[in-house]
A and B are shown apart, each in its own frame.
Chain A
Amino acid sequence: AQRVTQPEKLLSVFKGAPVELKCNYSYSGSPELFWYVQYSRQRLQLLLRHISRESIKGFTADLNKGETSFHLKKPFAQEEDSAMYYCALPAGGTSYGKLTFGQGTILTVHP
């Protein structure tokens, strides 16, 4: 069965510090993976996708098939990055369809 694990429920950093939110998945093959973000009082929304290889709001995520990881990184955290972050894996590892979400990580960036 597909599984997504985010080992850190809470993560606190200071403004300007690097941040890494961990995500590990279980799926054989080359999966598509997503990071979704939920800012306070806002809807859950897509932050970035593995396949697009974009940097969104300074965040990047690299798929490491050997370690089955898709960690989200930002070199210099900002206070506005404080939010709940979810890693997600689509059914069958494809781009669309039902998603399996991790447990979520609440990131707090202190001034």
Chain B
Amino acid sequence: DGGITQSPKYLFRKEGQNVTLSCEQNLNHDAMYWYRQDPGQGLRLIYYSQIVNDFQKGDIAEGYSVSREKKESFPLTVTSAQKNPTAFYLCASSTLAGTGEQYFGPGTRLTVT
């Protein structure tokens, strides 16, 4: 089962700790995205990257950081500065042409207590 993978599925952290969520894709897609899914708020874009070593803030980037050192990988760090980090995080990837369809990973549920 190729495509886009996220790990771990569930993550628990204490308040004040940074935590990194993994996202890997073997689809040879140029673009990768991180979304946060909260009940009643839909999906909100945190960060996205269209090329290696470059990324842009989305709508809710505060308290998050990313890196794109390899085309296949786009890890997201949830820092202690994020005020409400408990959420379901989705990673996606897409080409930058053609249909524009985004392919989503299975998600990581982060719980911070």
Interface residues of A (CB under 8 A from B): 4, 6, 9, 32, 34, 43-46, 49, 52, 86, 90, 94-104
Contact = CB atoms under 8 A, between A and B. Distances in A.
Closest 5 CB pairs of A and B: A96-B100, A95-B100, A101-B43, A103-B42, A44-B104
Contacts of A6: 42
Most chain B beta-carbon neighbours within 10 Å: one of A4, A44, A86, A103: A44
Given A43-B106, A44-B104, A46-B102, A96 B43 contact: no
Interface of B: 31, 33, 35, 40-45, 48, 50, 58, 90, 92, 94-102, 104-107
A46 B106 contact: no
B90 A95 contact: no
Contact of A96 (B42, B95, B107): B95
A16 to B, nearest CB: 29
Contacts of B107: 43
B40 A97 contact: no
A9 B105 CA distance: 24
Contacts of A4: 42
Contacts of B105: 43
30 contacts: A6-B42, A9-B40, A32-B100, A44-B92, A45-B104, A46-B101, A49-B100, A52-B99, A94-B100, A95-B97, A95-B98, A95-B99, A95-B100, A96-B31, A96-B95, A96-B97, A97-B31, A97-B50, A98-B33, A98-B45, A98-B48, A98-B58, A99-B43, A99-B45, A100-B45, A101-B43, A101-B44, A103-B40, A103-B41, A104-B40
A44 B90 contact: yes
B61 to A, nearest CB: 12
Contacts of A100: 45
B99 A49 contact: yes
B42 A101 contact: yes
